[in-house]
Amino acid sequence: MDVVLLCHNQLALVVYHLFVAQSLEPFLNHRICIILGTGSLGCYLSTSPTVTSLSRLANISPFVLVFLMCAIAGDYVWNGAGRDVDIAAVHDLEKAPAAICISVFAFFWHTNCVAVVRELRHPTPPRLCALAYGSAFTLGLLYFLLALAGYASWGPQLLRVPTILSMYSLSSLAFDVARVLLAISLAIAIPLNVYPIRESVQNLLERFLWKRRRLTFLQPYCQHKTLGCLLVMIPMFTSIFFDNVVQVITIIGGSLVSLMMIPFPSLVFRLAFPNYPLIWRVLFICSILLTTFLASASVGCFGKPV
C-alpha cells in the first residue's frame, strides 16, 4: 500500500502543478516559471517535521469549489441564454469509462483527511462516522452542482478544454478571482500531500534498507527535509515535460486511486467484521472486477478518451 500511495501521490502532484500553471498562465504567461515557483514554495513548506498549522489552510479547498460553482451559475443566469449549447441527458456513453476514472480521482484527491482525523476532538466512532459520510456527501454534492452548472453553460464544448476556467475570458473579475483562489488552494495542497507520503517513504526505507544494513551511508541524507524536497521536485520536473493533465488524471483515477478506494475498504471490512466471511468475499470479488475495469479503461481498452 505504501508503494501504491507513493506512486499515486507523485502523479497527483503533477496534476496539481499543471492546474496551478493553467490557472495563473493567463496572468503571467510563462508556464515553466509558474511551475518552478510553485515547486520552490512546496519544497520550503514540506521541510517541517510535522504538518503543524498548514493543515488548517486546506479548508480553502471547499470554499474555492463553492465560489467557482456560484461564479459559473451566475454566469449561466446572466449570459447562458445567448449561447447555442447542445445539451443531452445521455450524450456519449463511450466516454463514460474515462469519465468515471476522472470522477474517482476527484473524490480521492482531498487527502487532508489524515490531518483532520488527527486534530478531531474526542474521535468517537459516531463522530468519525458522521465526519466520513458528511464530508463525502458534501463533496459529492459540490462536484455534482459544479458539473451540472458547467455542462448547462457550455455542453460538449467542455471536452475540448483542460479545465472549465479556460472557457471564460480574463474580462470577468469573478473568474479571475476563481483562478487565483484555485492556484492558492492547490499550492497549499502540494506540501500538505507530501507529509503522509514522506512517512510512507521513511517506512519503506527503514524496512528494506536500514534494517537490512543496505546503503546505510544514505541514511543521514534521507531525513524529512531531503525527502520532502525530493517528493516535490520529481513531480515538478515531470509536469514541465508532460502537460496533458486529463490523461494523467484518467490514468491515476483508473489504476492507482481505484486500488486504494475500492479493494482496500473491502479488506478493512474483513478486519472490522470477521464474522461475515461470505459478505467480505462478495465485496472483494466485486471490487476486484470493478478495479480491473477501471484500470483497463484508464489505458484505453474500453471506451473513448475524454
Total number of domains in the chain:
1
In a domain, residue 189? The reply is yes
Residue 271 lies in a domain: no
Handedness of CA 95, 98, 100, 106 (dihedral sign): negative
Within a domain: residue 45? yes
Are 234 and 35 contacting, i.e. CB atoms less than 8 angstroms apart?
no
Range of the domain at 254: 2-81+98-261
Is 197 inside a domain boundary?
yes
Does 157 reside within a domain? yes
pLDDT of residue 254: 66
What are 182-223's pLDDT values in tens digits?
A: 999 888 888 888 887 887 787 777 777 666 666 555 655 567
Determine, yes or no, domain membership for 286: no
Provide the pLDDT for residue 228.
Answer: 83
Would you state the pLDDT for residue 253?
A: 65
Domain-located, residue 92? no
Give the length of the chain. 306
pLDDT at position 194 is 84
Distance of CA 303 to the CA centre of its chain: 23
At 2, list the grid cell.
Answer: 505504501
Residue 219 has phi, psi (to 5 degrees) of -60, -40
Measured distance CA(12)–CA(249) in Å, rounded: 8
Q: Give Dmax over CA atoms of the chain in angstroms.
A: 69
Q: Tell me which residues of the chain have a pLDDT lower than 50.
A: none
For residue 65, report the phi and psi dihedrals to the nearest 5 degrees: -60, -45
Q: What pLDDT score does 73 carry?
A: 86
- Distance between CA atoms of residues 126 and 279, nearest Å: 23
Is residue 121 included in any domain, yes or no? yes
